[in-house]
Copies of this chain bind each other. A is one copy, B any other.
């Protein structure tokens, strides 16, 4: 039986592995709000269970088995987020923290029912793909808004940060998922971006443009 802590570690390692930088002790420590030696002892345990591969002073990567388990939890998390938004009427900025708890419910029936009610959904409310029952993910080829050339128009399909603060900010400035965004201008110095969304011109900072995924 997988514990709650184990599930959070697997998920965090999976998510960090998606960046080029990979999963290291210090990044995990920051992400999970846990001191470094704790990471060390937990990762050793996960390695004993053959869920991660790990060599001292190198980073960690999930084994096949570890990745499968991580994706099960991620599926529960994303299904939950969509259920909270679509069926329960929460805003997209409210659901991440609740899903962080609900994802640990063991009952498979509970999530199968969500899946049924939502008719096998493919994306969560932040545009992230929901792994299917076998842990398969559609491969997406998204770009950062920060890297799009001036003059182009792109479609906003996902965020890479689901914190309440960031999502509330986007809502406040009138940018919602699946909007079309036209790049009007970009300041070379700091990436400050002038865009047009729904005929309204707005300015976004470089940091924000780094968190917006488009196609």
Interface residues of A (CB under 8 A from B): 87-90, 94, 97-98, 101-102, 105-107, 109-110, 113-114, 117
Decide: A105 and B98 in contact? CB cutoff 8 A.
yes
Contact between B107 and A98, CB atoms less than 8 A apart: yes
Is A107's CB under 8 angstroms from B97's CB?
A: yes
A151 to chain B, nearest CB (A): 43
How many monomers of this protein are in the complex? 2
B101, B105, B109, B114: which contacts A94 (Cβ < 8 A)?
Answer: B109
Give complex CA distance A109, B110 in Å. 19
Measured in the bound complex, the distance between the Cα atoms of B105 and A101 in whole Å is: 6
CB of A89 within 8 A of CB of B113, answer: yes
Q: Within 8 Å CB of A109, what residues of B? A: 90, 94, 98
Q: Output the residue of A98, A101, A110 with the most chain B CB within 10 A.
A: A110
Q: Which residues of B contact A88 (CB under 8 A)?
A: 113-114, 117
CB of A179, distance to nearest CB on chain B (Å): 27
Nearest first, the 4 A-B pairs at minimum CB distance are: A98-B107, A101-B105, A88-B113, A98-B110
What CA separation (Å) do A97 and B108 show in the bound complex? Answer: 12
Q: Which residue of B lies closest to A104 (CB)?
A: B101
Other-chain residue from B98, B105, B113 in contact with A90 (beta carbon distance below 8 A) = B113
**Cβ contacts under 8 Å, A87 to chain B:** 87
Which B residue sits closest to A98, measured CB to CB? B107
Is B107's CB under 8 angstroms from A105's CB? no
* Cβ contacts under 8 Å, A97 to chain B: 107
**Considering only CB atoms, which chain B residue lies closest to A100 in the complex?**
B107
Q: Closest residue of chain B to A88, judged by CB?
A: B113
Chain B residues with CB below 8 A from A90, complex form: 109, 113
